[in-house]
Chains A and B, each alone.
Chain A
């Protein structure tokens, strides 16, 4: 393997000190003189027609500066993909969930804005509502969107490969299971917000906590009919995203509209309660799984019937369903596969994208199911996976091209590192060990109406230092630091000589689509690498002239540009005085060198009816083993240790990978054991951190062993693949399987709570049999 000077090193975050000392500036820290506070009025009914909105009393309240309702906002629908756009910035005819935005107020302070909300009178005509996706699909169920028959979002998806029925007939054993997952919220610390400032020249400047400032600018331009050239977006530090900040939402649009109406800057920052309601987290899925296998564990057929509750609007739901199809068969080689899926509208709050695009729920169900299948067959679960695991070069049933795939090695490694062979089935009652696998896309593909481009600029300064200008939407992943490593490595300079912008300012920083789909490592990474190479080519031209050599014969390393194989022919990047000697000593004029880099993945066909098509540039893989202790009297579960191995292509900075893995383990524990958005007729009952609980430090395992499998993906800078999403995927299932190993009960409706465990244990009678 190639030897690198900076890549692969455990380097700390460039912005770590600023964050931990509280100096980093987030959107809410930015204060413009005369800023008004914005607040949004939301629906109290899950489904109702809006008959009349009377804002007159609110307008008379002293301190109120502007009010907008659905009537004042552009009648332009937005949302992902043109065939499933179903949202307006403010509801004007109907509300479809408790929390649907109806009106927005700008006032001199937040208290007055809140008081004004109370004074807005809305006359509703209540409509019948539906909260269960299976009910919503039945004939006669209330119709939530005119365009959606049987409330099915876009279309039914049917993916069929081979002959599943024949496969089941030829199997020695067939197992069926049904699992239901829960709604889970992102719980990023910084709630969604926007500060918008519309000036007299008709220019809009906004600051917002986002995973995609360029998409926000695009949506605002599209909705507000302001040309992109007159909109400037700023993305300061961001306090977490986990997929929940990739979509432009009502509070951003309302801030802009209110600023346009009042001529003043307007800031809207969602409260924690508002954030829980507007969050768009993980869907509630119902999976009915069927797998047929030979006695030796060879899987002949797999079938999945999946129904998910999209909530009141599509958001990214339909795209998530597409991914679910592929995530069903990405980890196996199976000749016969059938996946039938529906995303269904209900009057619950909408769901959207969250870390792994719901692969975590699918694998939670399927890895639980496969664990049971292995036990039924009398085969070790890990052996069952190794017998059927997908490999490098595979084209999956869903047409994913797995050019690099280290899943087998991940599985073998966690088996060996965790002591699986000695522990599985041999631990005392109350102790258990469980295994599961995960996968995720690592980058998006372009489609005809949705390009997925990245770009970067590398500016060489007069002292030999380098500015990297990129729209790295770093919300904790460490991408700014990793790309500094990239620049340092490629130009052969020290990382301290590379400076990366913190704020993404759309007037200055070249485009990138944002941090979603684990795409930054490959997408932006390739653009950064290209920009470095472009800069280096320009530098080499100057140096070649100086050394009377050819540019092709030059190399850059350790701050020196030298003639390959000739120790005398060298120019240092910096001279004694710190100036870039190659510029100053050249007979040519001093000129700024700017490297430009661009990357766009090739477009590949994708079938929206079947969910088939190569959806990503590369795919990340992971396997995890969890060991748990279950208190057999109280039903409480403690995760004791976790062993993890992930195919990251190439570990660019192991420190950050460990951070991703540990964060994913925490999030996975939450999903498995604690987290659930409690809904009653569309109302969220626990919209606060005192009632919606995420794991604390004390809930974390004592030991985490994270290791990396390096498969060097051919499409990626240095072979690396984004792994932020894949790493969470196996965690909940590994816990579920460990709980079964410990006390012999299977909870099919998540999360796995002490109450449910005790109930099942009692049903089962004597323990440990």
Chain B
């Protein structure tokens, strides 16, 4: 590991000041589960490491029936233990549980997961399907960025130098809606995600699809929405024939690189499975 200067701001303002001061030479440390590994491998060699873990008011999960707000320092384990998220945002809970082994969930943060911007970040497809947005703070400015615009490429986001992600906001889910995140690991049961698919389906009383969102992970330079596939379902009744068409359309929208043929096939398999599971959830909820 290369030498670096270690900084420990106590407030968001202080952190933003340091990040502005040191610009590209600074890196934000939260859980460190990605960054420290990268630094050990010398793939990241920051001169300044800004540890934000000592900032007291960034670790929270709040829900006011309009927005779920997650502070930047919230760990996956904290999310996994939230019955509120389980009850109201089960699609996000699926994603949280897909992350790493327990040790990683204990340290890793959801905001770090997004900022690292790995194409395979497990929380991204669900947050895309949920139309989440992120709040950032920089010197004298706050931004609200839709998650769809956040990722710019593999391991690249739209965050500017001196800008700190402080909160993730998720709008509440309408009634008659079911969501699911399904994933396949690269090899073993606890492994990086090879393909991740999140689907969120809203049905009307006749079982016709009012709204659907499909988020794909690990099959393109960034996590993406499969919007053409979504359109195929709009105002349609979800049936097997249509589902396989939707699966194929999602494959067209994906652009996997390694193991491309297999990944493409899996996009279709998982999209169909996730949609079926989401519909099953809505229907069983309607019956209750």
Name A's B-contacting residues (CB within 8 A): 111, 633-636, 673-674, 690, 693-696, 698-699, 753-755, 758
Q: Which 10 A-B pairs have the closest CB atoms?
A: A698-B189, A693-B187, A755-B262, A696-B190, A693-B188, A674-B187, A633-B269, A699-B189, A696-B188, A699-B188
B188-A695 in contact (CB<8A): yes
B5 CB, nearest partner CB in chain A, Å: 16
Instruction: Return the chain A residue nearest B192 by Cβ.
Output: A690
Instruction: Return the chain A residue nearest B270 by Cβ.
Output: A634
A636-B184 contact in complex given A690-B192, A696-B101, A758-B262, C-beta closer than 8 Å: yes
Instruction: Return the chain A residue nearest B188 by Cβ.
Output: A693
| Complex interface: chain B residues within 8 A of A753 (CB) | 187
Report the bound CA distance from A699 to B191 in whole Å: 11
A117 CB, nearest partner CB in chain B, Å: 13
A693-B191 in contact (CB<8A): yes
Instruction: Return the chain A residue nearest B190 by Cβ.
Output: A696
Report the bound CA distance from A227 to B184 in whole Å: 58
A754 CB, nearest partner CB in chain B, Å: 7
6 contacts between A and B (CB under 8 A): A690-B192, A693-B191, A696-B188, A696-B189, A755-B261, A755-B262
Counting chain B residues whose Cβ lies within 8 A of the other chain, the interface size class is 10 to 19
Report the bound CA distance from A693 to B187 in whole Å: 7
| Complex interface: chain A residues within 8 A of B190 (CB) | 696, 698
Interface membership of B186, Cβ < 8 A: yes
Interface membership of B228, Cβ < 8 A: no
Interface membership of B212, Cβ < 8 A: no
Interface membership of B259, Cβ < 8 A: yes
Most A CB contacts (10 A, CB to CB) among B1, B186, B262, B269 go to: B262
B145 CB, nearest partner CB in chain A, Å: 29
| Complex interface: chain A residues within 8 A of B188 (CB) | 674, 693-696, 698-699
Interface membership of chain B positions 134-169, coded 1 if the CB is closer than 8 angstroms to chain A and 0 otherwise = 000000000000000000000000000000000000
Q: Which of B154-205 contact A (CB under 8 A)?
A: 184, 186-192
A634-B189 in contact (CB<8A): no
B61 CB, nearest partner CB in chain A, Å: 27
Report the bound CA distance from A758 to B187 in whole Å: 15
Instruction: Return the chain A residue nearest B191 by Cβ.
Output: A693
B191-A634 in contact (CB<8A): no
Interface membership of B265, Cβ < 8 A: yes
Report the bound CA distance from A309 to B240 in whole Å: 50
Report the bound CA distance from A635 to B270 in whole Å: 13
| Complex interface: chain A residues within 8 A of B3 (CB) | 111
Instruction: Return the chain A residue nearest B40 by Cβ.
Output: A271
Report the bound CA distance from A753 to B192 in whole Å: 16
Cβ 8 A contact of A758, one of B1, B37, B192, B265: B265
Interface membership of B19, Cβ < 8 A: no
A103 CB, nearest partner CB in chain B, Å: 21
Report the bound CA distance from A690 to B181 in whole Å: 23
| Complex interface: chain A residues within 8 A of B184 (CB) | 634, 636, 754
| Complex interface: chain A residues within 8 A of B186 (CB) | 693
| Complex interface: chain B residues within 8 A of A699 (CB) | 188-189
Report the bound CA distance from A674 to B259 in whole Å: 15
Report the bound CA distance from A636 to B189 in whole Å: 10
B208 CB, nearest partner CB in chain A, Å: 27
B259 CB, nearest partner CB in chain A, Å: 6
Q: Which of B2-43 contact A (CB under 8 A)?
A: 3, 37
Q: Which of B241-267 contact A (CB under 8 A)?
A: 259, 261-262, 265-266
A5 CB, nearest partner CB in chain B, Å: 42
B263 CB, nearest partner CB in chain A, Å: 9
| Complex interface: chain B residues within 8 A of A695 (CB) | 188
A631 CB, nearest partner CB in chain B, Å: 9
Interface membership of chain B positions 257-288, coded 1 if the CB is closer than 8 angstroms to chain A and 0 otherwise = 00101100110010001000000000000000
Instruction: Return the chain A residue nearest B262 by Cβ.
Output: A755
| Complex interface: chain B residues within 8 A of A696 (CB) | 101, 188-190
B106 CB, nearest partner CB in chain A, Å: 16
Instruction: Return the chain A residue nearest B265 by Cβ.
Output: A758
Report the bound CA distance from A621 to B186 in whole Å: 34
Most B CB contacts (10 A, CB to CB) among A634, A674, A758 go to: A634
Instruction: Return the chain B residue nearest A638 by Cβ.
Output: B189
Report the bound CA distance from A666 to B71 in whole Å: 39
B98 CB, nearest partner CB in chain A, Å: 12
> Given A693-B186, A698-B189, A753-B187, 15 other A-B contacts at CB below 8 A?
A111-B1, A111-B3, A633-B273, A634-B266, A634-B269, A635-B262, A690-B37, A694-B188, A696-B189, A696-B190, A698-B190, A699-B189, A754-B184, A755-B262, A758-B265
| Complex interface: chain B residues within 8 A of A674 (CB) | 187-188
Instruction: Return the chain A residue nearest B261 by Cβ.
Output: A755
Report the bound CA distance from A590 to B259 in whole Å: 75
Report the bound CA distance from A693 to B186 in whole Å: 9
Report the bound CA distance from A766 to B259 in whole Å: 24
A620 CB, nearest partner CB in chain B, Å: 29
Report the bound CA distance from A690 to B273 in whole Å: 28
Most A CB contacts (10 A, CB to CB) among B3, B188, B266 go to: B188
Instruction: Return the chain A residue nearest B189 by Cβ.
Output: A698
B195 CB, nearest partner CB in chain A, Å: 9
| Complex interface: chain A residues within 8 A of B191 (CB) | 693
A588 CB, nearest partner CB in chain B, Å: 61
| Complex interface: chain B residues within 8 A of A673 (CB) | 187
B189-A754 in contact (CB<8A): no
Instruction: Return the chain B residue nearest A698 by Cβ.
Output: B189
| Complex interface: chain B residues within 8 A of A633 (CB) | 269, 273
Report the bound CA distance from A694 to B189 in whole Å: 10
Most A CB contacts (10 A, CB to CB) among B37, B189, B192 go to: B189
B185 CB, nearest partner CB in chain A, Å: 9
B150 CB, nearest partner CB in chain A, Å: 24
Report the bound CA distance from A659 to B268 in whole Å: 41
| Complex interface: chain A residues within 8 A of B189 (CB) | 696, 698-699
Cβ 8 A contact of A754, one of B1, B37, B101, B262: B262
Instruction: Return the chain A residue nearest B186 by Cβ.
Output: A693
B68 CB, nearest partner CB in chain A, Å: 29
Report the bound CA distance from A330 to B262 in whole Å: 40
Report the bound CA distance from A695 to B190 in whole Å: 8
| Complex interface: chain B residues within 8 A of A690 (CB) | 37, 192
A755-B187 contact in complex given A633-B269, A634-B266, A690-B192, C-beta closer than 8 Å: no
Report the bound CA distance from A599 to B176 in whole Å: 77
B111 CB, nearest partner CB in chain A, Å: 22
Report the bound CA distance from A26 to B1 in whole Å: 24
| Complex interface: chain A residues within 8 A of B101 (CB) | 696
B259-A755 in contact (CB<8A): yes
Report the bound CA distance from A695 to B189 in whole Å: 8
| Complex interface: chain B residues within 8 A of A634 (CB) | 184, 266, 269
Report the bound CA distance from A673 to B191 in whole Å: 14
Instruction: Return the chain B residue nearest A669 by Cβ.
Output: B188
Instruction: Return the chain A residue nearest B263 by Cβ.
Output: A755
Report the bound CA distance from A696 to B191 in whole Å: 9
Report the bound CA distance from A754 to B262 in whole Å: 8
Instruction: Return the chain B residue nearest A754 by Cβ.
Output: B262
Report the bound CA distance from A690 to B193 in whole Å: 12
A411 CB, nearest partner CB in chain B, Å: 30
| Complex interface: chain A residues within 8 A of B259 (CB) | 755
Report the bound CA distance from A644 to B184 in whole Å: 30
Interface membership of chain B positions 107-142, coded 1 if the CB is closer than 8 angstroms to chain A and 0 otherwise = 000000000000000000000000000000000000
Report the bound CA distance from A755 to B184 in whole Å: 12
| Complex interface: chain A residues within 8 A of B192 (CB) | 690
A527 CB, nearest partner CB in chain B, Å: 41
| Complex interface: chain A residues within 8 A of B269 (CB) | 633-634
Report the bound CA distance from A695 to B192 in whole Å: 13
A202 CB, nearest partner CB in chain B, Å: 38
Report the bound CA distance from A624 to B37 in whole Å: 40
B149 CB, nearest partner CB in chain A, Å: 29
Report the bound CA distance from A682 to B86 in whole Å: 48
A750 CB, nearest partner CB in chain B, Å: 14
| Complex interface: chain A residues within 8 A of B37 (CB) | 690
| Complex interface: chain B residues within 8 A of A694 (CB) | 188
Instruction: Return the chain B residue nearest A674 by Cβ.
Output: B187
